[in-house]
Amino acid sequence: MIAGNLEYLINSLPDLAFRHDKEVQERVEYLLQTYAGHQSEQDDLVSFFVGEAIKFLSDREAEQLQIINLQSIHESRFQDSRIRLVREYAEFIYAFKGSLATYRMARRDSTTQHSSAKHTPIKQGTPLEEEVQVLQIQWEKLEELASGHHYDLEALIIYKLHLEILQRYWSFDEGKGMDIFKSITEKTEHG
């Protein structure tokens, strides 16, 4: 890996912020697609980013960047990672998922009070509001861990995970979500 090229890559990437703003989303999509030389709608933003980033990494680093993702970051293989940032984020997500499960169980089983559910940093709201809170907490932990990582593999990992969080956030459609919620609750009520 050539540090100057990695520095150039990172400086060329669009800034990311945890906002559900169509204009920002379109700008990030356009810049990443243009930078990667793709105009296909079939590939997602993370694929564009990873495709460009691995050009500046060793084979081992490229493999590490490719396998890390938000869906599986909580797994033990990441909790045991030799990359401190990955290990710490994996441990955080694992614990966070556990506290979310306890919180959700306590909400479903209102007759039993789970004391640990009171310590979950999620404020009760609609399913959409709660999911946005989950993403915000994941984002903020990455921000906390980003300190000191500017032009290294860890900076690319943070960017990739931020991008995955944003893709999930940007995929939320309140109207569509409400329709799905209503159909599920109607099925439950009517058997």
Give tens-digit pLDDT for 150-188. Answer: 889 999 999 999 999 999 999 998 776 666 667 777 766
Q: Which two tokens stand for residue 99?
A: 């506290």
d(CA 81, CA 102): 26
pLDDT higher than 90, residue 20: no
Closest C-alpha among 143, 137, 107, 111 to residue 125: 107
d(CA 29, CA 70): 19
Q: What is the mean pLDDT of residues 63-70?
A: 96
Residue 1, pLDDT score? 43
Residue 112, pLDDT score? 53
Residue 111, pLDDT score? 54
Residue 121, pLDDT score? 80
Q: Is 190 helix (H, G, I), strand (E, B) or coil?
A: coil
Least confident of 7-16, 47-56, 109-118, 128-137: 109-118
Which H helix or E strand runs over 113? none
Residue 174, pLDDT score? 73
Eight-state DSSP code of residue 170? H
Least confident of 47-51, 132-136, 141-145: 47-51
Which H helix or E strand runs over 115? none
d(CA 157, CA 172): 23
Total tally of structural domains belonging to the chain: 1
Stronger pLDDT, 21 or 190, i.e. the higher one? 21
Give tens-digit pLDDT for 94-116. Answer: 999 999 988 888 877 775 555 55
Q: What is the mean pLDDT of residues 24-39?
A: 76
What one-character-per-residue DSSP string does 144-168 give? HHTTT-SSSHHHHHHHHHHHHHHHH
Least confident of 10-14, 72-76, 113-117: 113-117
pLDDT band at 23 (very low <50, low <70, confident <90, very high): confident
Helix axes 153-170, 3-12, angle to 10 degrees: 20
> At 142, phi and psi to the nearest 5?
-60, -40
* 57 burial via Cβ count (<10 Å: 0-12, 13-18, 19+): buried
User: Containing domain of residue 133, as a range?
Assistant: 3-189
d(CA 153, CA 170): 25
Report pTM.
Answer: 0.83
